[in-house]
Amino acid sequence: MADTKKLIIGSRGSKLSLAYSSHVKNLLIKSNSEFDSNSIEIKIIKTSGDIFQNEKISDIGGKGVFSKQIEEELLDSKIDLAVHSLKDLPTKMTDGLCVNAVVKRNDPRDAFLSYSYKSFHELKPQSKIGTSSFRRQAQLNLLRNDIKIVGMRGNIDTRIRKLKNEEFDAIVLSLAGLQVLNLEKEVKEIFSDKQMLPAIGQGAIALQCRLEDQKTLDILKMINDQESYCCIQAERALLEAIGGDCDTAVGGLAKLWNNKIILKSELFSSDGSKKFVAEGSGNFKEAEKIGYKVGKELLKKAGPDFKV
């Protein structure tokens, strides 16, 4: 461990990231009598994604903009554990690190927010909707092709402030983040997963540590939610199979039912005009295998000229 007396958690400094890290800290204290509030420290680490908030994610490095600096501190043993929003992690795990545990997943669905309209379908033609996600943009355009999708970045508070300032008629955000920050009252409508399949790993909190750090691995095992972990294994395997990352216009959601994993997915062309759908299921012990198979089926449907 980075400190013989303390376990140090690395976290981004946003309200949401700190809420996730505080939740993990509390779970660790409850699960292990060796810990109390003084023996676990949360260390704030600024990432590229936090520093360059007005830049497009693809312009500042794409993969890993919200995790690279945190992972570097983990590899240098300056922290023992990194808490990430799983959907922010690159598909390929950084050498020497692993995610062998997640906490119980929050609601993965997307939410519609507006101060002028009660629902997405009430929007007037040419209304401006803010989102930073290519996936959401493609999905929203399929639901309605008479609205304007406008790119937006910033943390949840920043985005809601832009909405209040009437820079947008509506915005779409992850429901999980709003729930964690007690902002559910801002939600006008929740999209079903039939309307909008969420991003791979949306709503899941990843616990990342060093592969060789057996002590921390054993500690994290005690707070791992097995059902959530099985589901994210399937989803991440799908993303790896298509060679995608957090910028790829792909939706995917795995659910566990009677020891059976059911994985649904959809992939969009770069201009959002075409949608490819694939689904798979099987025993939960084969979660990764199922995810990989569904991913390969998506690519096959998209054809040889498709570029992620």
In terms of domains, do 77 and 4 share one?
yes
278: in domain: yes
C-alpha distances in Å from residue 171, one per residue of 115, 136, 250? 10, 11, 19
pLDDT tens for residues 99-139? Answer: 999 999 999 999 999 999 999 999 999 999 999 889 999 99
CA distance linking residue 178 with residue 157, whole number of Å = 10
Number of domains forming the structure of the chain: 3
pLDDT band of 307, cuts 50, 70, 90: confident
Active-site hit among 59, 76, 88, 95 = 88
In terms of domains, do 2 and 99 share one?
yes
Cβ contacts of 299 within 8 Å, gap of 6 or more: 241, 242, 267, 306
Strand partners, 247: none
In terms of domains, do 163 and 41 share one?
no
Report whether 18 contacts 41 (CB < 8 A).
no
Q: What is the CATH number of the domain that holds 260?
A: 3.30.160.40
88 is catalytic: yes
In terms of domains, do 92 and 115 share one?
no
CB atoms within 10 A of CB 130: 23
What range does the domain containing 287 cover?
226-301
In terms of domains, do 93 and 162 share one?
no
pLDDT tens for residues 13-63? Answer: 889 999 999 999 999 999 999 999 999 999 999 876 554 445 444 444 445
195: in domain: no
In terms of domains, do 181 and 217 share one?
no
Q: What is the CATH number of the domain that holds 181?
A: 3.40.190.10
Considering all CA atoms of the chain, what is the largest pairwise distance in Å, rounded to the nearest integer?
60
What backbone torsions phi and psi does residue 190 show, to the nearest 5 degrees? -110, 125
Report whether 37 contacts 3 (CB < 8 A).
no
